Structure 1
Amino acid sequence: MREQEDDRLYSDPRLVDFYDLENGWGQDTRYCAELARTAGSVLDFGCGTGLFLAGIADGRPMVGVDPASAMLEVARHRTNGEQVRWVEGDIRSIRLGERFDLVTMTGHAFQCLLTDADVKAALATIAAHLTPSGQFIFDSRNPARREWEGWTPEASRRTVAHPDYGKVESWNDVAVDEETGVVCYETAYRLASGETLSSRSSIRFIDQAHLAGLIARAGLVIDVWLGDWIGAPFEPGCKEIIPLGRLA
């Protein structure tokens, strides 16, 4: 996605250094790792720094796709990173000419798709890379929870322990377009030297009913809607919107 590729949070090596400190192995990657146990091949879109695939690499065919070269550079140098094929590409248009038993997209990377046209293109790509019995899964924050309201400087201020910079003060700031569901937020890190590293990102919040319609029109079927990465079923007030499905 061009927007993500241009976002310094993903393209500036110094900001990429902070990414895993705040986005490490979690419930999403653990859930997907369990799904992957019985998959003969795995494709991960928005793979970022490769934490997930490198963590489960065991010789099976695995491909990680991301538009940010700085993120992929980290992925290639991970332990077991050499067992994964890392591809720089855009989910809206990439075609690998292969099909996979499991297609994943975690870390809310799906929300970097800012329009219905982007979502339709991404879903077509997912469909094009699934085996007849393959599964796909991704996550999106539920707009009903209005999580962005906690992304103000006052509410988000925190300290991040960096191995080179030490304790770093960090915060977010946010602006919301209620009509489109697009949220623009700033991520900032103030180093001990006084220098501030910052980036601006845009993501979209999409409701479950609208997403369900787009998925159905893409020739995909949802077997279960999850409301979190522990496995609870989706309900209107859930934090997450997580479709787990397959080809129609």
Structure 2
Amino acid sequence: MTDPIYNDPDFVQFYDIENQNGRADFDYCIRLARDGGSVLDLGCGTGQLAAEMAGRCSVTGVDPASAMLDVARHRPGGDKVDWVMADARTVRVGRRFDLVLLTGHAFQVFLTQEDQRAVLRTIAEHLAPGGRFIFDTRNPAVEAWLEWTLRRSERMVEHPSLGIVRAWYDADYDAATAVVTYSTFYEMPGGGPVLGAESKIAFPRKEDLAGMLDEAGLLVERWLGGWQGEPYADTSAEIIPVGRPR
């Protein structure tokens, strides 16, 4: 949770730029939310989804990174969201919600089953009777980390003030822990300095998630394999449980 890509403004300035392609997850969550209902966005990041939903719902956004929340507070619609700087494993905001969500693979920053169970307990603690939850995590069977090499991930990022920035990843998978350690690099224009930061994310299996969800008192109504709403299959890129309190 102290990864520079979330806490260092030099990296956070690239977050929205790098995550602007596609909004199927936003659209699905907006459809799942009830007009006039309440939403808890755990791991809200820079607040794109939370701010958009605040036009139709009462929204609380939670994130442990102050640099991300600084962006969230100043975006259009950010004044309509209740922003909370806290860790999803331990946060308790003292109310229950019609929808609790974690998008952007935020669940994967929790590296151990102990931490993952704690997040699921947080979800259960904040769900109103009849409330719904949804989150996403990458399917380890697809081995997405194989694409996070210099050759396969190198790209040019257009920054509004810095210009064209060269970016790439490097990654290593530990089969014993199902954790990927990856580094993110940004090379400033004209052969300038290179920013580099190391991060870790977990790739839990669907079977393990199912057991932990059950332990937390959460009932999965649907397992999705992508944000278009397709059912989960072993070859799906995503594992997306959608459910309610048991």
* TM tier, smaller: over 0.9
Q: CA deviation at 1:60?
A: 3.3
Does 1:219 find its partner at 2:217? yes
Does 1:242 find its partner at 2:244? no
Does 1:12 find its partner at 2:8? yes
Identity %: 50
Equivalent of 2:94 in 76, 93, 97: 97
Q: Could you tell me how far apart the structure 2 residues matched to 1:199 and 1:89 are?
A: 22
**5+ unaligned residues in a row in structure 1: which ranges?**
none
Q: CA deviation at 1:37?
A: 4.0
On the 8 A contact 1:59/1:83 being kept in 2, the answer is no
Runs of at least 4 residues off by over 4 Å: none
On the 8 A contact 1:39/1:102 being kept in 2, the answer is no
CA RMSD of aligned residues (A): 1.1
Does 1:47 find its partner at 2:44? yes
Q: Could you tell me how far apart the structure 1 residues matched to 2:101 and 2:87 are?
A: 14
**5+ unaligned residues in a row in structure 2: which ranges?**
none
For residues 198-236 of structure 1, give each alpha carbon's deviation from its aligned partner in whole angstroms, at most 9, with x where no partner exists.
211100001111110110011000000000000000011
The 5 A counterparts of 1:180-191 are 180-191=177-188
Alignment TM-score, normalising by the size of structure 2: 0.97
User: What SS does the corresponding residue of 2:223 show, helix, strand or coil?
Assistant: strand
For residues 115-166 of structure 1, give each alpha carbon's deviation from its aligned partner in whole angstroms, at most 9, with x where no partner exists.
0100111000000000011000000000000010010111110000000111
On the 8 A contact 2:53/2:59 being kept in 1, the answer is no
The 5 A counterparts of 1:118-157 are 118-157=115-154
Tell me the matched-pair count.
Answer: 244
Q: Could you tell me how far apart the structure 1 residues matched to 2:97 and 2:55 are?
A: 16
